[in-house]
Structures are given as structure tokens and as C-alpha cells.
Amino acid sequence: MSRYWSPVVHSLRPYVPGEQPAMGSVVKLNTNENPYGPSPRVAAAIAAEAGDALRLYPDPGAVRLRDALAKRHGVDREQVFVGNGSDEVLAHTFQALLRHEAPLLFPDISYSFYPTYCGLYGVDYRQVPLDSAMRIRIADYRQPCGAIILPNPNAPTGIALPRAEVEALVAEHPDQVVVVDEAYVDFGAESAIPLVRSFPNLLVIQTFSKSRSLAGLRVGFAIGQRPLVEALERVKDSFNSYPLGRPALAGAVAALEDEAWFEHNRDLIVASRRRLAEALLGLGFEVLPSAANFLFVRHPGSSGAKLAAELRSRAILVRHFTGERTADFLRISIGTEADNDRVIEVLRLLVR
């Protein structure tokens, strides 16, 4: 606290990111990073930018990257917005599109950055409870609101909504923006991007951090019809014209050029997810059906907090959330086969 602070700062409740330990030999399954590295083409493209070119500002319009994304997703460049990680894209979205008279709706169990952005930008919100199976029910969103945001697959549950349900939700709210945060969509859910052509109120946000192994580069993007993207550009150009540096722009384009690398790693992770889920079921865990690169699990005989602490003491980091409905659970990112074997080995000793 300081008397020098702007008043709003006193009431901010900052997001708390998962721990990034300095120690080398931990099994790090707490922030849903990809256990496999990015395409070697990414490092080559970044190296090519890392010389004299750094003297110059990057392209403020990020045209090469937006063109590559437009081509991959079958839209026009003008329908693509890029930012410094999807967290920045989300922040601009909250400010540009989600602050209205009526409250923003999002699930009670969801990405914990959403309430933080609401605090930062003064967005009134209401949390809509997931059902008893921890699923989003779109019927529960039939209520007066200013806008809607939800992750698909949801985080931290990992449960995906079929595209037809996303479509129904967007169609039921023609006067509100509906934002679908698809940070994990590549691991097994259906993207809403094909719906963008039909719905002027739909914005889809994705990231290079998870499925493209580039959490350290900070690249995210949004796809929507032109007026929504223009709102984001207005905020961005009132904030920072160059959110992506030359290395990030070049690296992201290179990542998109290596689909085979991306698909191979994604398939490995999906196969490991299935094996890890089966092993945990065998140990008596309840495992929510995940379409993401993590599992949300609980054990009838052991508290989530206790298991997380015991794992931590054995150099395995997983994520534990303290919310009323989530405190029993652990969120375990899918690691390499060796990482997953280690978690299973330790959990076998901890649960009885």
C-alpha cells in the first residue's frame, strides 16, 4: 500500500500464475506448458531476426503473421488480431468488447484471469455455476447479460463443449459478444472459428503457448468479424503499437510453417493423456473427461491440498486451486511419458 498509488490499484486482485521454479530437476506439471520443444524452424527464424534487424521497430500491423494465421484458418487478414500472448488479447477484449451495463457472464469454475481483468477494467460480472458434473450448460446463460466469455475446452476442468452447442449459445445472444477462449482447443475440441463467418458477435481467441510449445515467446490471437477486430486494434494502438517483437513475429510464422511438428507432438500428448487417465482411474481417482493437455482429478480418500504438497515435496509440481468447488481437485499437466510415469509412481504411494 502506498499513498502514491492510483486509487484503482488498491482494489486490484492480481492473477497468480503457476510457479516457475529455478531448480532444474523438477517434474513440472503445473502450468500446462508443452513437454516437447517447438519446431527447430522457430529457433532458426528467431536467430535470423536477432542481428541488425533488432535496430528497427517490428511491423506494427504484424502482416506476415496475420496472413499466415488467416490462411491456416480460412479467414481474411482483417479478421485476425495478434497480441503478446492470449492474455494480452484477452485484456484488450475485456476493455474493448466486454464492458457493458449488464454483467459479463462466465462459468464459476473457469480461467481465474477473468475476474482479474474485470477488476482492472471495471467490468461487472456474474459467475454461472457449472452443473454437478462440472459441465457448462448453455441453457444457464439464458439470462440478461452484457456479454459472455468461456474457455473451450474449459479450464481447469478440461471438458469441451461441442461446436453445435457453442453455435447455439452464440445464436441465442445476437445482441451480445460471445468470446470463446480456445487456449487448449488443439488437444481435442472443435474450434468455433468456422462459425465466425455466420456470427458477427463471435470472437475466438487462441494461443501459441500450449499446442505450439511457445509459452516463452508470448503470441496469441483472436479471430472475428471485422468490427470486433477493429475494436481490439483501437485499444491496442492506444496502448502499445508493437506488442510483438521481431523474434516473436518471425518465430510464430515459422511455427505455423511446421504443421507436421505440431501434429506429432499433439498426438503424443493426446496418447499420453489417455494412458495417464487410465492409470489414475486404476488408483481410484475420479478423472474428468479432458479434451485439453491436462487432467482435473480428485481422489475420494485424499485432499487436493495435501496431495499437491506431498507431490511438491517429491519435486513434482501440479496445480491446486483453493476455490470451494475445486479444492478437492488437482490439475495435472500432461508431461513426457517419463514425467507421467513418475507422477503415477508417487501417487501410487500417496493414495490408499
Q: Does 339 bind ligand PLP (CB under 6 A)?
A: no
**CB of residue 209 vs ligand PLP: minimum separation in angstroms?**
3
CB of 39 to ligand PLP, least distance (A): 18
CB of 104 to ligand PLP, least distance (A): 15
Strands 125-128 and 220-224: unpaired
158 contacts ligand PLP (rule: CB under 6 A): no
Cα–Cα dist 183/228, whole Å: 19
Shortest distance in whole angstroms from residue 291 CB to ligand PLP = 13
Query: What is d(CA 80, CA 335) in angstroms, rounded to the nearest whole number?
Result: 31
**Comparison of 127 and 315: residue with beta carbon closer to ligand PLP:** 127
Q: What string of DSSP letters covers 209-221?
A: SSTTS-TTT--EE
Buried b or exposed e, range 151-188, using 16+ CB within 10 angstroms: bbbbbbbbbbbebebbbebbeebeebbbbbbbbbbbbb
Angle at 65 between CA 59 and CA 70, to 5 degrees: 130
Q: Is 251 in the site for ligand PLP (CB under 6 A)?
A: no
Among 145, 148, 180, 183, binds ligand PLP (CB under 6 A): 183
Binding of residue 335 to ligand PLP (CB under 6 A): no
Write down the least CB distance from residue 220 to ligand PLP, Å.
4
What are the residues facing 179 on neighbouring strands? 149, 203
Contact letters for ligand PLP, residues 57-86 (x by CB under 6 A): ----------------------------xx
The rounded distance, in Å, linking the Cα atoms of 253 and 240 is: 21
Q: Which is nearer to ligand PLP, 36 or 344 (CB)?
A: 36
Cβ at position 15, least distance to ligand PLP in Å: 10
Q: Vertex 94, ends 92 and 95: CA angle to 5°?
A: 65
Given the rule CB under 6 A, which residues bind ligand PLP?
Answer: 85-87, 111, 151, 155, 181, 183, 207, 209, 215, 220
